[in-house]
Amino acid sequence: MSYNEFIKKLDLLTELIEKECTGTALECAKKLNCSRRTFFNYLEILKEQGHNISFCRIRNTFFFDKKQ
Protein backbone atom coordinates (compact mmCIF):
# COMPACT_ATOMS: atom_id res chain seq x y z
CA MET A 1 0.00 0.00 0.00
CA SER A 2 1.32 3.42 -0.89
CA TYR A 3 1.52 6.29 1.56
CA ASN A 4 -1.28 8.12 -0.29
CA GLU A 5 -3.60 5.12 0.05
CA PHE A 6 -2.76 4.90 3.74
CA ILE A 7 -3.61 8.57 4.27
CA LYS A 8 -6.86 8.20 2.30
CA LYS A 9 -7.91 5.29 4.52
CA LEU A 10 -7.12 7.26 7.67
CA ASP A 11 -9.12 10.21 6.29
CA LEU A 12 -12.05 7.92 5.45
CA LEU A 13 -11.93 6.39 8.93
CA THR A 14 -11.86 9.86 10.49
CA GLU A 15 -14.88 10.85 8.40
CA LEU A 16 -16.81 7.70 9.36
CA ILE A 17 -16.07 8.29 13.04
CA GLU A 18 -17.13 11.95 12.79
CA LYS A 19 -20.42 10.89 11.17
CA GLU A 20 -20.77 8.09 13.73
CA CYS A 21 -21.50 5.51 11.06
CA THR A 22 -18.60 3.08 11.38
CA GLY A 23 -20.53 0.01 12.43
CA THR A 24 -18.63 -2.69 14.29
CA ALA A 25 -14.89 -3.15 13.90
CA LEU A 26 -15.39 -5.85 11.28
CA GLU A 27 -17.96 -3.79 9.35
CA CYS A 28 -15.68 -0.76 9.36
CA ALA A 29 -12.72 -2.86 8.25
CA LYS A 30 -14.80 -4.00 5.26
CA LYS A 31 -15.64 -0.36 4.45
CA LEU A 32 -11.92 0.44 4.53
CA ASN A 33 -11.07 -2.73 2.58
CA CYS A 34 -8.63 -3.92 5.25
CA SER A 35 -8.41 -6.55 7.98
CA ARG A 36 -9.91 -6.12 11.43
CA ARG A 37 -6.39 -6.00 12.91
CA THR A 38 -5.37 -3.24 10.48
CA PHE A 39 -8.50 -1.31 11.44
CA PHE A 40 -7.41 -1.39 15.09
CA ASN A 41 -3.94 -0.26 14.04
CA TYR A 42 -5.55 2.74 12.31
CA LEU A 43 -7.51 3.50 15.50
CA GLU A 44 -4.26 3.43 17.48
CA ILE A 45 -2.69 5.90 15.05
CA LEU A 46 -5.63 8.27 15.50
CA LYS A 47 -5.41 7.90 19.28
CA GLU A 48 -1.68 8.68 19.15
CA GLN A 49 -2.59 11.85 17.26
CA GLY A 50 -4.64 12.92 20.29
CA HIS A 51 -8.14 11.74 19.39
CA ASN A 52 -10.31 10.18 22.08
CA ILE A 53 -12.26 7.40 20.41
CA SER A 54 -14.95 5.32 22.08
CA PHE A 55 -17.44 2.68 20.95
CA CYS A 56 -21.19 2.85 21.59
CA ARG A 57 -22.69 -0.63 21.93
CA ILE A 58 -26.22 0.72 21.55
CA ARG A 59 -25.59 2.48 18.22
CA ASN A 60 -22.84 0.06 17.14
CA THR A 61 -20.44 2.82 16.13
CA PHE A 62 -17.14 4.37 17.06
CA PHE A 63 -17.21 8.08 17.87
CA PHE A 64 -14.94 10.90 18.99
CA ASP A 65 -15.47 11.23 22.73
CA LYS A 66 -15.23 14.90 23.61
CA LYS A 67 -15.73 14.28 27.36
CA GLN A 68 -12.29 12.79 27.94
> Hey, where are the domains in the chain?
3-64
Amino acid symbol at 67: K
Angstrom distance (rounded) from CA 47 to CA 7: 15
pLDDT tens across 7-29, in order?
999 999 999 999 999 999 999 99
Centroid of chain to Cα 48 = 13
Q: Which fold has domain 3-64?
A: Arc Repressor Mutant, subunit A (1.10.10)
Per cent of the chain over pLDDT 70 is 99
Please, what is the average pLDDT of the chain?
95
pLDDT at 67 over 80: no
* Among candidate residues 45, 58, 56, the one with its CA nearest the CA of residue 32: 45
pLDDT at 68 over 60: no
